[in-house]
Amino acid sequence: MRRPRLRTLVLVAMVVVTLATLGWWAWGPPGVAVELARRSWRMEILVERLRLETDSAWCDELPPDARDISRRVVADTSGQRGASAEHCRFSQLVWRRSWIAKREGGPAQRPEWPNPPLRMAPPGEPGSERVGRREAFYEIELRDRQDHAWICRVDAARWQQLREGMRFRVPVDRFGTANCPAMYASDL
């Protein structure tokens, strides 16, 4: 009589453990428990260079600064200019992305914009550089107990409030991507 009772107890224990695990998975706190391991900032300035580029267009649609224009008569298949019209090849000066100036650091350094050295060419000639778009990135590195790491971007005010060692829960999808905006503080 002891054997059936032992089997029943083992079976009940297995069912309880399975239900508890499923309950924790379904209704427990969402996300992965993580700790803030590192804070960093990066400031970037896009530097653009004035370049001479060639292009082509209908001669009646040339940009005002077009130079070195060569013309030829071709058929206009769109039908907007009659049977044939002048088509031009030309050169013009345009600003194009050249390189990115960066400065980066951690919480011990004050975030500062880089001061890129710019090339200067005579006016109206290619080669000059100018500063373009600026971007500031404030990032935190989160790690779980299995040493998986995620990098999350936050705004400057939130970055200033956070400290290494703080604990959070962050939802992570089945592909391992963290949903950083849904991160919330935890009392782990």
Helix (H), strand (E), coil (C) string for the chain: CHHHHHHHHHHHHHHHHHHHHHHHHHHCCCCEEEEEEEEEEEEEEEEEEEEEEEEEEEHHHCCCCCEEEEEEEEECCCCCCCCEEEEEEEEEEEEEEEEEEEEEECCCCCCCCCCCCCCCCCCCCCCCEEEEEEEEEEEEEEECCCCCEEEEEECHHHHHHCCCCCEEEECECCCCCECHHHCEECCC
Residue 188 pLDDT = 43
Instruction: Give the residue ranges of the chain where pLDDT is below 50.
Output: 1, 188
Residue 116 pLDDT = 95
Contact (Cβ atoms closer than 8 angstroms) between residue 154 and residue 39: no
Residue 30 pLDDT = 61
Residue 93 pLDDT = 94
Q: Is this prediction's pTM over 0.85?
A: no
Residue 118 pLDDT = 95
Residue 91 pLDDT = 94
Residue 23 pLDDT = 65
Q: How many angstroms separate the CA atoms of 128 and 119, rounded? A: 5
